[in-house]
Amino acid sequence: MLSLIAKAAIVQKLSKPQPTKPDFDALSPDLQWQIVRSRERAELLVQLGAIALVGILLTPMVVPQLNQHMDTVLHDGVKVKVGPITVWESEPVLEQMGVLPPTSLEPVEVGDEIGGFRVNSGYGMRIHPIYGDERMHNGVDLPTPTGTALYTPAARSSRVKVDCKDQPGGAGKYAEITSPDIPGKVFVAMHLSKCITGLHHGGAVIAATGNTGASTGPHLHWEQIDSATGQREHPQKGFLQWALTGQQPKTLEQINQGAVPLQSLIDDELLKCAIGNAEGTMHDDCSKNPAYFGHTDPGNGAANLGAFSYQHGASSPQEADAKQIERLRKAEQGIQQKAVEKFGQPLSQAALANALDLWNQAPLAGDDFVKHLRTADPSPQEIIDARSRSFVDPETGRLDAPGLGNSEENIRHDQTRRTDEVLEQVNP
Ligand SMILES: [Zn+2]
């Protein structure tokens, strides 16, 4: 029989709360950061080991060009000390990892348009805009309206650490951005209006640009730092584009792969229904409205036929649709090519449907749509803004929409209505 004291001890032991494993998200950001880093380092080592093994096994079988390529890579590399061993690391590490296309590694220069904003001050020596003397400019400047979103420049699966700090007379509110998925780099964004300290996933909004600190107007000052040496380096286009758009610049291979299925984003039936709803030739359920079988354009008095209100002569609505689909598909190639050049990826389905509806309404405006977008996957409001701005003639700076009375209010009203109709079909 147990003594009362022993019993009490057992009861006490049983009622003691058992230690439970805390949820990852409940840990402090610093602890999460340490865990993520050590885990990813371990994964990287395993992956490198596997790659090395496969490489050794395949080496005798590979073609001479590849041998030559490896040779070049090794000889163009730089000596890097990792712990007690010295390894060769070739220069464009990110390019080889397939993280960014080669063009993304180019340095940001004055005049470049990145994420829809133009760089007006470059990296290097310059006359300081406030102090008037010649100084090193450690980053690049882009005028951006206060409140412009900044994203983490990393893939969605990544964890990115953001430290927000304040330097009232200089950098203002600024963010230091690091991620184990962007090895060797630290990014600094200055003069922010908002900044969110903590761990974020890739592509998350982490700050808003502003005009804090020593600044002559709302702008983003962006720096790239080599984390090994702590030295500022010439910022590269891809990271800045990623931070301003939230979208990963694609590698050339991905772009080329994307060139084939571009047409599959919207099939002919959806295209007819979406644009037909905006034109008033199709009902919400994609059945034909009487206007489908022929109507007169209220703007220019021309005879229209089919879903797209085709005006160039056809013997039946079906023939009119087939002819216009052919034209729209050609326009689509040009539009997506522009998107790939600007964003590194084609437009989203919603943006593409609106680009084509705009092109159907006014080809010149449709061709200008991408120019007025900030991202390949814009919000409905961004689509309406870009559609409306596309009616401004770039040569004269004036509205060119006689069918809408060249009135900004009419255009915006019309473009809002059409965007709503198209999105209702594309995102039901
Ligand atoms: Zn600056």
Average pLDDT of span 287-294: 91
Kindly give the distance from the C-alpha atom of residue 242 to the centroid of ligand 1, in angstroms, as a whole number. Answer: 19
Q: Give one DSSP letter per residue of 146-207, joined into a string.
A: TT-EEE-SS-TT-EEEEEEEEETTTTEEEEEEE-TTSTTEEEEEEEEEEE--EEEETT-EEE
Integer Cα distance of 292 and 130 in angstroms: 62
b (16+ CB within 10 A) / e for 279-310: bbbbeeeeeeeebbeebeeeeeeeebbbbbbb
Res 80: pLDDT? 45
Q: Quote the pTM value.
A: 0.46
Give the contacts of 380 (CB within 8 A, at least 6 positions apart).
Answer: 350, 419, 420, 423
Task: Name the CA radius of gyration of the chain, rounded.
Answer: 28
pLDDT at 86 (0 to 100):
44
pLDDT tens digits, one per residue of 349-367: 999 999 999 999 999 999 9
**What distance in angstroms lies between residue 74's CA and the mean position of ligand 1's atoms?**
36
Q: From the CA of 134, how far away is ligand 1's center (Å)?
A: 13
Integer Cα distance of 245 and 344 in angstroms: 11
Given the structure tokens 């989203």, which residue do they identify?
348
Domain covering 102-249 assigned CATH 2.70.70.10 in the classification: yes
Q: Tell me the CA–centroid distance for residue 125 and ligand 1, in Å.
A: 11
215 alpha carbon – ligand 1 mean position (Å): 8
As a whole number of angstroms, the distance between CA 209 and CA 174 comes to: 9
Q: Which of 193, 196, 156 is CA-nearest to residue 177?
A: 196
Calculate mean pLDDT across residues 264-280.
Answer: 91
pLDDT beyond 80 at 318: yes
Which amino acid type is present at position 222?
W
pLDDT at 106: 86
**pLDDT at residue 187, as a whole number:** 97
Distance 194 CA to ligand 1 centre (A): 17
Average pLDDT on 400-404 reads: 81
Contact criterion met (CB below 8 Å) for 137 and 126: yes
Asked whether residue 230 carries a pLDDT value surpassing 50, the answer given is yes
Ligand 1 centroid to 123 CA: how many Å? 8
Q: How confident is the model at residue 386 (pLDDT cuts 50, 70, 90)?
A: very high
CA gap 414, 360 in Å, rounded: 14
Cβ atoms 375, 292 nearer than 8 A:
no
Q: Would you call 1 exposed, middle or buried from its count of C-beta atoms within 10 A (0-12, 13-18, 19+)? A: exposed
- Share of residues in the chain with pLDDT > 90 (%): 45
Confidence of residue 261 (pLDDT cuts 50, 70, 90): very low
222 alpha carbon to ligand 1 midpoint, in Å? Answer: 7
Q: How far apart are CA 146 and CA 82, in angstroms?
A: 42
CA-wise closest residue to 164 among 156, 173, 154, 172: 173
CA of 142 to the centre of ligand 1 (A): 8
At 75-108, the pLDDT tens digits run 344 444 444 444 433 333 344 344 566 677 889 9
Which residues crowd ion ligand 1, with CB under 5 Å?
141, 221
pLDDT for position 22? 66
**Predicted confidence (pLDDT) per residue in 199-219, tens digit:** 998 888 999 999 999 998 999
* Helix, coil or strand: residue 2: coil
Percentage of the chain modeled with pLDDT above 70 = 72
Give residue 275's identity as a one-letter amino acid code: I
Residue 190 C-alpha to ligand 1 middle, in angstroms? 8
